Chains A and B, each alone.
Chain A
Amino acid sequence: MSAADVLAIFSNADFWSAVLRIATPLIFGTLGALICERAGVLNLGIEGIMVAGAFAGWLAVYDGANLWIGVAAAALAGAVFGLLHAFLTVSLALSQHVSGLGMTLLATSVSYYAYRVFFPNVSSPPTVKPFAELSAIPIPILASQTPLTWLALAIVPVIAWILYRTPLGLALRMVGENPAAVEGQGIDVVRLRTGAVTAGSALMGVAGAFLTLSAFNAFYFNMVNGRGWICIALVVFAGWRPWKALGGALLFAFFDALQLRLQQQAGGIPYQLYLMAPYVLSIVALVIVARRATYPQALMKPWRKGER
């Protein structure tokens, strides 16, 4: 393994295509988690919501629906679990940690249960025809991506614009910093937070749909494999900012794609060490940014009307 080998990897367009592909579910998931957290609600349901999205999207398409209807089904599945999480943590002001973990357990187990109800005896899941590459577009690297990757890149400026340039975004950021002040403005804290968690969870559902409708073509157990937790780490790394979330997802995907290539080329080193790298990297990144991380002030603080 020499410097020339590494350079050869970087000069290969396939490598950069892989970076974008790996980044796509992370972009959706990180933005979804970011919206929830900006409104003051930690959503540890993300891991399970991605499973539910992956399953719902795939099932809809298998059932004959259009691929975009599949994506909508995934978003809907995410939104349903988001609504439940919001009811528990916002309306009832229960522990965001425990409720989020509960959502992950529930969304995962319900998806697996439903999979087995629909397909009791199959050893491998039936496949669907996934999104095709948008090869008509004459831009290298982007031409080898599917529409969902384009969508992921497109929603970054949209979410940044909503958060920083609209009254809704201002209210949303404010409710994560100081819900009492939002209440003072005559805005309903519970409705605002519920809306944010539901919308953010819908994005998490789409992140899952990318796995079954774009990256792969079927629903497998354990296919989310910790991506949701990585997104939770990426939100902190990004300092709760959409553009930095995109940067973080791309940086993470860069290292993930790199370890995959190195794994194929360099012999002698156990492959598990390469697979560990993304998780180790996430922890290191968290430690680096922790000191200057400015958490939304009201994150994880339950808010009850009339209570201080």
Chain B
Amino acid sequence: MRLEARAAPSRAAVILAPFVAVLFTLAVAMLLVAWAGAPIGETYALLFDGAFGSRFAWSETLTRGTPLILTGLSAAIAFRARLWNIGAEGQLYAGALAAVAVGGLHGGTGFDLPASVLFPLMLAAAALVGALLLLVPTFLRTRFGVDEVVTTLLLNFIVLLFVSMMLDGPMKDPTALGWPQSVSLRDDLQLDKLVPRTRVHTGLVYAVVLAAVLAFVVRATTLGFETRAVGANARAAAFLGVPVTRTMAIVAVISGGLAGLAGAIEVAGRTGYVTLDMSPGYGYTGIVIAMLAGLHPLGVVAAGIFVAGVLVGADSMSRGVAVPTYIADVIVAVSLISMLVAMLFARYRLRAT
């Protein structure tokens, strides 16, 4: 058996790939559920119900999906240019911290500025620190040839320790006894609820609009073309006059900025303050979402909601049957790998030799 390149990528295979990958993943997860000794049918029914089975389930899934769409977009745009940004987790935390630094109730009141001024400043600050956190590794790669995978990964640990230091120090909420928690965001800077009596907030609108904008950028602008060219072959792109370094820098700003925004929106829409466990790996999960979406921004919205559903559904399912909630992380990991393989068959076919 060997792989043989198709003359052109199979359109049917490209569209079918995510579905095949997800079905395969659910089959693998079934084995793990059986191993835990739980009834498979009931487990999946509970998982689905917990994710999409009711108004409440949908609202929780969409709430969880909001940061995931943003980190998914962050990974998608970076991976298109083959800029391996594995640092979205740190960029998210940095953005969250920046948001509270600008809009928090420091000294009980915070900055004496109207919300109409402070709100855009808050988002800009979050996007800026996220962007800077990725610009440094990008610069180290283009200037010195340092692999950005390792530097962005290591920066995640550094940022998290920095956040921990801030939560012990200048940003500490004096009223939170013992728990490392930042001061709260000003009430008038918090995002409105999208649906009354749920946790879904207008951050979801920001995420979807940004996805649409990004879809336009990658499809119909010079930057989108240059990103693709740099990702396909940076040297060839340079020969054709594509400004490779500049394109990388712009992609880094967009990708890091989106991850930083994810942090700010999570604070403004859901938590209201920064804690050290506000993101259960949204940055890493974003990579999986980007891959499931085939790096397409609109696909990221769908994949983000799907993955959020798995996470939320698994939480609620594990309260009903004896299946550990970590099944969700296994499903996310297996779907990444099976998506990778499924996409391969869009470009190659298997031939018996």
Contact = CB atoms under 8 A, between A and B. Distances in A.
Contacts of A290: 140, 144-146
A109 B325 CA distance: 10
Interface of B: 2-3, 5, 32, 35-36, 84, 86, 140, 144-147, 149-151, 153-155, 157-158, 161-162, 164-165, 168-169, 284, 287-288, 291, 322, 324-327, 329-330, 332-334, 336-337, 340-341, 344
Interface stretch (A17-25, A52-60, A90-98): A90-98
Nearest to B29: A113
B140 A113 contact: no
Interface string A69-95: 000000000000000000010001111
B50 to A, nearest CB: 18
Interface in A221-238: 225-226, 229-230, 232-233, 236
A102 B165 contact: no
6 contacts: A102-B337, A113-B324, A226-B154, A229-B153, A282-B150, A286-B147
Nearest to A85: B337
A286 B324 contact: no
Nearest to B136: A283
Contact of A117 (B35, B145, B147, B151): B35
Interface stretch (A131-139, A202-210, A245-253, A271-279): A271-279
A236 B147 contact: yes
Nearest to B137: A283
Given A101-B86, A286-B150, A88 B341 contact: yes
B319 to A, nearest CB: 13
Given A105-B336, A113-B324, A229 B154 contact: yes
A113 B333 contact: no
B161 A98 contact: no
Interface string A255-293: 000000000000000101101100110110011001101
A291 B144 contact: yes
A230 B150 CA distance: 8
A191 interface: no
Nearest to A101: B287
Contacts of A108: 329, 333
Nearest to A111: B326
Nearest to B287: A101
Contacts, number: 124
Closest 8 CB pairs of A and B: A116-B324, A109-B329, A105-B333, A106-B333, A272-B165, A113-B326, A272-B161, A112-B326
A101 B85 CA distance: 12
Contacts of B325: 116
Contacts of A279: 154-155, 157-158, 161
Contacts of B324: 112-113, 116-117, 120
Contacts of A106: 330, 333-334, 337
Interface residues of A, number: 45
Contact of B84 (A97, A233, A270): A97
A282 B344 contact: no
B84 A291 contact: no
B185 to A, nearest CB: 23
B150 A232 contact: yes
Contact of A270 (B86, B168, B326): B168
A192 B199 CA distance: 53
A276 B326 CA distance: 29
A144 interface: no
A44 interface: yes
Contacts of A112: 324, 326, 329
Nearest to A89: B340
A117 B31 CA distance: 13
B165 A229 contact: no
A120 B329 contact: no
A233 B157 CA distance: 14
Contacts of B326: 109, 112-113, 116
A117 B36 contact: yes
A304 B344 CA distance: 13
A201 to B, nearest CB: 15
Nearest to B86: A101
A102 B330 CA distance: 10
A270 B169 contact: yes
Contacts of B153: 226, 229, 232
A233 B154 contact: yes
Nearest to B3: A304
Contact of A105 (B3, B288, B340): B288
Nearest to A225: B157
A232 B154 CA distance: 11
Given A105-B288, A117-B35, 6 more contacts: A101-B284, A102-B337, A106-B333, A109-B326, A109-B330, A236-B150
Contacts of A273: 161, 165
